[in-house]
Structure 1
Amino acid sequence: MNQPLQSLEQLLDRVSQLTYNNHQVSVGMVVESIGRRSFGPLLMMIGITLFSPLSGLPGMSVFMGSFVLLIAVQILIGRKQFWLPRYILNRSIERGKLQKALHWLNKPARSIDRFLKPRLTFLVRNGGSYGIASLCIIIGFCMPFMELVPFSSSAAGLALLALGLALVVHDGLLVLLALGSFSATFILIVANFL
């Protein structure tokens, strides 16, 4: 059984291991590698995907938005192990593209991990996780509109990455940073539509 993830660098390493023997890496393979009880690492993975160059792929924001909604609803209803439909689990990416994105993220991941520690834990434990799930639902519903505003999905990815990391390392400061990042993104989206 896989050890629980405790950092962003560990998540990237675990996903990177999947690229050694596989030409295509599916969402299902990543889910199995991080564990089906791992809501935080799964949000981290989505955030990394949206924050990386992969966010430029057409339809990525809509796809990831539906993924976020599924995860957040399951957190809200108190599931201990998440479920994902087969069409999400079967989605895959070519090994070279994934390796390039992971390489691009390695150095920032090491830098971020140095600053993480448990603090403001009331924002991530017990009732705090419901607040995180609620924020994820709002982000998920906004994702389709982010296809129309350049770089907004990357900002949302940063917020989701922070929320996932907050759940993993119990760092409530990351919840506040995610809230600030998404608020700025939401204002940008609204300003573009007015």
Structure 2
Amino acid sequence: MDDPRKGSTLMDLIASLERMEQDAQRVSVDDVVHAVGRRSFGPLLLVTGLITLAPIIGDIPGMPTLMALLVLMVSVQLLVGRETFWLPGWMLKRSISRNKFDKGIYHLKKPARWIDGLLRVRLPWLTGYIGIRVTAVVCLMIALAMPPMEFIPFSANGAGLALSLLGLGLVARDGAALVLGFTLFGLTCTLILVGLL
């Protein structure tokens, strides 16, 4: 399901996003999906996580919920065996200014280089057929949890980081990153539940 030509590192993915049409004043969801590929579950997860985490972009009201809907739709389609991802037109047309998008991506570059240095192929069985589907189920749970997280400070960041780790794990075939993503989501949910009780 993942297209290795779309890049195997976080910096490759950021470079793909930066190469999008430079003259455009706005960046749409369709632009982002086109940049990472409609067959690429890992990169798409990674991008949604990064957008949720990115300063300026992720702080836009409703953006975490939009990213949650994107993850939800893609995860369901992966689980039912679709080869390419379909997204509704209204979602693909959603956009933000190119200036905000570029600023958010710029802030991600320095940590991206550091993170790329940590990734390597580990526990590859977790990134195979069954592992990808287990990851899709976890992503469904994250997507369902994200909209209420917008009202709880910093919890959407935990979900965004978990999605980023899951996407990185699939892109780099690093099962350890997947385990970290699962763990982080579990911890985020636990902290929210403890805080609400």
Normalising by structure 2, we get a TM-score of 0.94
* Contact map agreement 2:74 2:85 (CA 8 A) in 1: yes
Q: Which residue of 2 aligns with 1:11?
A: 13
In structure 2, what is the Cα distance between the partners aligned to 1:37 and 1:25? Answer: 20
Question: Does 1:45 pair with 2:47?
Answer: yes
Spell out structure 1 runs of 4+ moving beyond 3 A. Answer: none
* Contact map agreement 1:145 1:189 (CA 8 A) in 2: no
Pick which of 164-173 and 183-192 moved more.
Answer: 183-192
Alpha-carbon shift at residue 21 of structure 1 (Å): 1.7
- Identity over aligned pairs, percent: 41
Normalising by structure 1, we get a TM-score of 0.95
Structure 2 residue matching 1:93: 3-state secondary structure: strand
Q: Which amino acid aligns with 2:75?
A: A
Structure 2 residue matching 1:56: 3-state secondary structure: coil
Q: Which residue of 1 aligns with 2:110?
A: 107
Q: Which residue of 1 aligns with 2:71?
A: 68
Structure 2 residue matching 1:18: 3-state secondary structure: coil
* Contact map agreement 1:14 1:33 (CA 8 A) in 2: yes
* Equivalence map 1:1-194=2 (5 Å): 3-18=5-20, 20-53=22-55, 54-194=57-197
* Cα-to-partner distance string for 1:61-97 (whole Å, 9 max, x where unaligned): 2211111110111111121111111111111110110
In structure 2, what is the Cα distance between the partners aligned to 1:79 and 1:48? Answer: 24
Extract unaligned runs of 5+ from structure 2.
none
How many pairs were matched up? Answer: 194
In structure 2, what is the Cα distance between the partners aligned to 1:62 and 1:193? Answer: 21
* Contact map agreement 1:47 1:157 (CA 8 A) in 2: yes
Q: Which amino acid aligns with 1:69?
A: L
Alpha-carbon shift at residue 151 of structure 1 (Å): 0.9
Q: Which amino acid aligns with 1:122?
A: W
* Contact map agreement 1:8 1:109 (CA 8 A) in 2: yes
Alpha-carbon shift at residue 192 of structure 1 (Å): 3.0
In structure 2, what is the Cα distance between the partners aligned to 1:82 and 1:24? Answer: 23
Alpha-carbon shift at residue 4 of structure 1 (Å): 2.4
Structure 1 residue matching 2:27: 3-state secondary structure: strand
Alpha-carbon shift at residue 19 of structure 1 (Å): 5.5
Q: Which amino acid aligns with 2:153?
A: P
Alpha-carbon shift at residue 193 of structure 1 (Å): 2.4
* Cα-to-partner distance string for 1:89-137 (whole Å, 9 max, x where unaligned): 1111101101110110000001101111111011111111111001001
In structure 1, what is the Cα distance between the partners aligned to 2:128 and 2:5? Answer: 20
